[in-house]
Amino acid sequence: MFGNEPEDDHEVSERLNIVVMLGGPSAEREVSLKSGAAVAKALRSLGHTIHELDPRDDSWKLPTGVDVVFLALHGTYGEDGTVQRRLEALGVPYTGCDSDASRVAFDKVITKKRCLAAGVPTARFEVITSPKISWPAGWRPPVVLKPVRQGSSVGLQFVERLEDWNPALAEALRHGSEVLMEEKILGPETTVGILGGEALPVVEVRPRQGGYDYDNKYTSGRTEYFCPAPLDAATTQRIQRAALDAFRAVGGRDYGRVDVMVRPGGEPVVLEVNTLPGMTETSLLPKAAAAAGILFADLCQRMIDLAMQRAPTTALPGAGAAGAASP
């Protein structure tokens, strides 16, 4: 397991030519720009040569001689398997999950089905496809509405009363053609970072008011974070085990983050799997890594190391074929 004290700066055995992909065309562009800037700064501090590449559309090209790509993208295109498939076709190693796992994890419904098949506890759910659908039979509020294929709490709605249903559903459907309706779990909200096949310390998330929606997630001071989460050892282990099982169920590799609610009796309930979690120095995965004694630059280096294990032993044919960097 990970240690409890911060490590010395990572011993970099090889200076690499690294492309950090950041920004992109998704609703999470601004968050991605911040993640990418933090990662680029950290990797430069370790002596690597860094190129920042913003793939606003499919016309992007990699610089010649790139060794590895660090994906600091979030949301559609960057996290749904699209950019991963392109990099696989180029033969260039990249950080994070492969294209298949990315596609699965980005779809909340497919993720839930994978969890159920693997025996991983997840919240009761239903899929809604039209704003004209009335309150589904057999349900009672409160419930949560989420676009099936979005991240970072984009479009997240909490329905506490029946009269909130129509406007909440319309807002959630504004961000995608399908909406996941899910029971609202009353209990601690946690998230588990995963690095190299191991679970990092659990983070508990406590919004000061309301739920952990986009505004509470990205507005300073509106949410408190506790890491390690103030939970007993048995509950902590159950949460970490459920997170690891969910990550494996979607085919995850290298690193990720799994969001887990905890019922009052201590039962973990997996909500979703994030394959490219936020990477600013105050994001949840880096918080968990810091609690495990892994400094931010060292975390970025470990992610690069995991990707480089898949690097070909000869020169990368995809890098040169991709051409020169876009201006």
Q: Looking at the domain assignment, is residue 81 inside a domain?
A: yes
CATH of the domain at 307: 3.40.50.20
For residue 195, give Cα distances in angstroms to 20, 27, 112, 288: 19, 26, 22, 10
Marked catalytic residue, from 28, 52, 182, 189: 28
Strands 255-262 and 189-195, bridge-based pairing: antiparallel
For residue range 125-161, what is the model confidence (pLDDT) as tens digits? 999 999 999 999 999 999 999 999 887 577 889 999 9
Residues 168 and 137 both lie in one domain: yes
Marked catalytic residue, from 259, 283, 298, 302: 259
Given a cut of 80, whether residue 100 has pLDDT beyond it is yes
CB atoms within 10 A of CB 317: 12
Residues 111 and 147 both lie in one domain: no
Q: Looking at the domain assignment, is residue 284 inside a domain?
A: no
Residues 196 and 226 both lie in one domain: yes
Smallest CA-to-CA distance from 195 within 98, 293, 270, 303 is with 303
Given a cut of 70, whether residue 321 has pLDDT beyond it is no
Residues 169 and 261 both lie in one domain: no
Residues 196 and 59 both lie in one domain: no
Q: Is 28 considered catalytic here?
A: yes
Given a cut of 50, whether residue 251 has pLDDT beyond it is yes
Residues 263 and 208 both lie in one domain: yes
Instruction: Give pTM, 2 decimals.
Output: 0.88
Marked catalytic residue, from 278, 283, 298, 302: 278
pLDDT greater at residue 222 or residue 318: 222
Q: Is 259 considered catalytic here?
A: yes
Q: Looking at the domain assignment, is residue 190 inside a domain?
A: yes
Residue 315 has which token pair? 């020169």
pLDDT of res. 154: 79
Marked catalytic residue, from 274, 283, 298, 302: 274
Q: Is 253 considered catalytic here?
A: no
CA dihedral 263, 268, 269, 275 (to 10 degrees): 140
pLDDT greater at residue 127 or residue 5: 127
| Neighbouring-strand partners of residue 128 | 179
Residues 178 and 306 both lie in one domain: no
CATH of the domain at 243: 3.30.470.20
Marked catalytic residue, from 98, 107, 213, 272: 272
Which DSSP state fits 293? T
**ω into residue 136 within 30 of 0, thus cis?**
no
Residues 75 and 57 both lie in one domain: yes
CB atoms within 10 A of CB 321: 14
Q: Is 218 considered catalytic here?
A: yes
Q: Among 162, 183, 204, which residue terminates a domain?
A: 183
CB atoms within 10 A of CB 133: 15
Q: How many domains does the chain have?
A: 3
Question: How many degrees, rounded to 5, is the angle at CA 128 between CA 210 and CA 24?
Answer: 70
Which DSSP state fits 287? H
* pLDDT-based confidence at residue 253 (cuts at 50, 70, 90): very high
Q: Is 278 considered catalytic here?
A: yes
| Sheet of 198-207, strands arranged across | 223-226, 198-207, 189-195, 255-262, 268-274
The DSSP element (H or E) to which 274 belongs, if any, is: strand 268-274
Marked catalytic residue, from 257, 283, 298, 302: 257
Given a cut of 80, whether residue 121 has pLDDT beyond it is yes
Which DSSP state fits 295? -
Q: Is 274 considered catalytic here?
A: yes
Q: Among 134, 154, 183, which residue terminates a domain?
A: 183
* pLDDT-based confidence at residue 281 (cuts at 50, 70, 90): confident
Q: What letter represents residue 50's amino acid?
A: I
Domain, as residue range, for 174: 125-183
Q: Is 152 considered catalytic here?
A: yes
